[in-house]
Amino acid sequence: MTELTRSTPNTTRTIMGTVTVLYAASFFVGAVLHLGVPIGLGPVMLTEPVILPATIVESLCGLGLSVAAFAIFTRKPWAWTAAVAGHAVAFGGVLLGVTAIMLTGGSSTPLNDTYHRVMLMLLAAGLVWLPTRSGRAVLRHGQ
């Protein structure tokens, strides 16, 4: 077995954990924005309308993904299950947000619409990869 072969699962696990942390952070940012707190990024000020239900759902999504990231980085035996659950909960949360906007004619902003589209694609990609042989192997029982 070459050195590259041995390091690949570690690299993939690190990438998956890092991506999961970034997803969680993005949901927490969304939750803060939906509380009405503007966030400055240099010359750009991010704002969203106050939507308390969105804050709750985004916080739960961020929490689920944070638990998944913890499990991945600490090589818990339940890391794969946590990753699937975190991605599924977040995917469902985004679908709930999209559905709520469509059905209620709720506040829709370009930032929110773009975020929903991007996160649906990214979370779906994770949900497609995780059940594969490599996805299961990388996150299985502390490998």
Give the CA radius of gyration of the chain. Answer: 17
- pLDDT tens, residue by residue, 56-71: 999 999 999 999 999 9
Decide: 80 and 132 in contact? Cβ < 8 Å.
Answer: no
pLDDT at 4 over 50: no
Residues whose CB falls within 8 Å of the CB of residue 56, separated by 6 or more in sequence, listed in order = 31
Query: What pLDDT is attached to residue 8?
Result: 77
Confidence of residue 142 (pLDDT cuts 50, 70, 90): very low
Domain ranges of the chain: 3-139
- pLDDT tens, residue by residue, 63-121: 999 999 999 999 999 999 999 999 999 999 999 999 999 999 877 899 999 999 999 99
Average pLDDT, the chain: 92
Query: Which residue is listed with tokens 């947000």?
Result: 97
pLDDT at 18 over 70: yes
Q: What is the largest CA-CA distance in the chain?
A: 57
Q: Which two tokens stand for residue 141?
A: 């029982």
Query: What pLDDT is attached to residue 5?
Result: 46
* Average pLDDT, integer, range 26-45: 97
Quick one: 121 exposed, middle or buried, by C-beta within 10 A (0-12, 13-18, 19+)? Answer: exposed
pLDDT at 2 over 90: no
Rounded to whole angstroms, the Cα distance separating 34 from 51 reads 5
pLDDT at 7 over 60: no
Query: What pLDDT is attached to residue 105?
Result: 83
